[in-house]
Amino acid sequence: MATDAPPPPGGTDTSPAQPTTEAFVEVQESAEFGELRRTYRSFAFPLTVAFIAWYLLYVLLSNYAGGFMGTKVFGNINVALVFGLAQFATTFLIAWLYSRHAATKLDPKAQEIKSRMEADA
């Protein structure tokens, strides 16, 4: 993002040099970047599909299996309430798993690529 602000006093620009478009294209086509994308996709896509299937199961059961969803588990707590609360738990679990995966697998690779691009610029 370019700004029209004047350089700081002393005439030296302290912002890091920006890589060229060609450098971005080169990195995007590199095997290392491809591996980073594969690592992301191999985690995100299966979990996304699983969560959508789990959510649709909940919706379909709520619509077409009212008797089952209305089954009392204990007290006034029924299967529908348990499944609904499990949706929230699943959401937080997936967010935590992704955060851990990103911190251990994605961020180090991305930082390495970024550092190399900034050094080359």
The structural domains of the chain, with segments of one domain joined by +, span: 22-120
Average pLDDT over every residue of 34-39 = 95
Instruction: Name the packing angle between helices 79-101 and 31-64 (round to 10°).
Output: 170
Give CA separation, 90 vs 5, 86, 121, in Å.
Answer: 47, 6, 43
Tell me the mean pLDDT in the region 88-107.
Answer: 96
> For residue 58, what pLDDT is reported?
96
Average pLDDT over residues 81-95: 96
**Whether pLDDT at 8 is above 90:** no
For residue 12, name the pLDDT band (cuts at 50, 70, 90).
Answer: low
pTM of the full predicted structure?
A: 0.74
Residue 95 or residue 12, greater confidence: 95
Q: Which whole-number Å values give the CA distances from 44 to 8, 69, 70, in the listed order? A: 43, 30, 33
Look up residue 108 and give its two tokens. 């180090």
Compute the average pLDDT of residues 30-44.
94
The answer, yes or no, to whether residue 11 has pLDDT greater than 60, is no
Categorize the per-residue pLDDT at 6 as very low, low, confident or very high, splitting at 50, 70 and 90. low
**Nearby residues of 69 by Cβ (< 8 Å), 6 or more positions away:** 61, 62, 78, 79, 80, 83
Residue 1 reports pLDDT greater than 60: no
